[in-house]
Amino acid sequence: MTSKAMLTRPHHIDLDFDHTHIWHPYTSVTNPVPVYPVCRAYGVFIELEDGRVLIDGMSSWWATIHGYNHPVLNKAIVSQLQQMSHIMFGGLTHEPAVTLAKQLVSLTPEPLQKVFFSDSGSVAVEVAIKMAIQYWAALGKTEKNRMLTVRSGYHGDTFAAMSVSDPVTGMHTLFNGTIQTQLFAEAPSCRFHEPCIAEDLADIRLLLERHHMETAAVIIEPVVQGAGGMRFYSPHYLVHLRELCKCYDVLLIFDEIATGFGRTGKMFALEHAGIVPDIMCVGKALTGGYMTLAATLATDNVADAICSGNPGLFMHGPTFMANPLACAVATASISLLESFDWQSSVLRLEKGLQKGLEPCKALDNVKDVRVLGAIGVVELKSPVDMVAVQKKLVDKGVWVRPFGCLVYLMPPFIMLDEELRLLTAAVCDVVTMML
């Protein structure tokens, strides 16, 4: 763990310039929301420029599973930097990429044998969609070029990724006419610990029956629907979905960007169902939150078909694909995860989240409280005032970023019990204030 004493305080952050010139995510430049200037981060803590220290309940959008300034990950970055920071991946290769690919092939189910690196989760989804479309084109079925998914999902903000995100909450209405119209089934209604019956899949079965001739793939977040609503659904749904995709000759894509690398209590969420997709996307925690990197894995069947058709190669190639710094820290992050009993850590966090968020269940403004692995969700009956609620949470000493009707937590795996208790207590206090 990096101590405060080892870190040098940076220069003063010019907030006036920030407000005037920097466009933050999901914000208006004419009516900017407050931002909190950070001077350092270490362990599970974020230190603000004014000296306040916040417990991080978000893992920086779910990525920093080992916390901040971890010495093992720092060392990996510095060591690789002394060799090379970047080299193009077209026509060249390097040890960090090969080592990381070996790890990913080893960690994921055996049919997933091919690894395509990209810059971010959204791009990994774009790659998966292109793979699916190019797969069918190579087989002479160019009419199979649409995606089928479920409502309440989220797969990213780039155009193809946006097209398979929820049509109401996923920004579709702003871009009607410019993104492809995809097929949407009702979201799974069977909760995580419930069985899944035929009625739960009736809508997606009907859409496959009617549209399989034009459908390239079904894309879905396994078990946990993330930014589209933080919903947990039954793994049995995926088992039946796998059978339906085989029956109707449609590829299956899993988006494990948010759920991969232990977040749900399994290394990958697909393990809850015991089935394997044709294509899988990973990102976020891949590098332990240090650098942007993602990967799309595919079966030999998918890869061989793409490369047997015209033009005989996969048509994608990001400039910073397989960046050596990112690959090196990703390798270190995965090795670090495997070096300790992370399953017990996640189980401990799950129990702490259940206990800590339990008081919210009795509040009149709360619709549901649910926990799975290192994910805790308080769903309210009405949308929160994000700016006001965020300030209250910061004043309580925690960093949590609500959205819509949700106040949710995804703490780093290294968070101690007392830190988690303070985090959940702050959430309960603020939710109570909203009554």
Farthest-apart Cα atoms in the chain, separation: 63
- 154, 233, 290, 408: the active-site residue: 154
Are 53 and 47 within 8 A, CB to CB? yes
Please say if 361 is a catalytic residue: no
- 16, 26, 50, 364: the active-site residue: 26
- 119, 200, 255, 278: the active-site residue: 255
- 114, 144, 266, 284: the active-site residue: 284
Spatial CB neighbours of 64, under 8 Å, sequence gap ≥ 6 = 56, 285, 288, 289, 412
Please say if 154 is a catalytic residue: yes
Catalytic positions are 26, 154, 255, 284
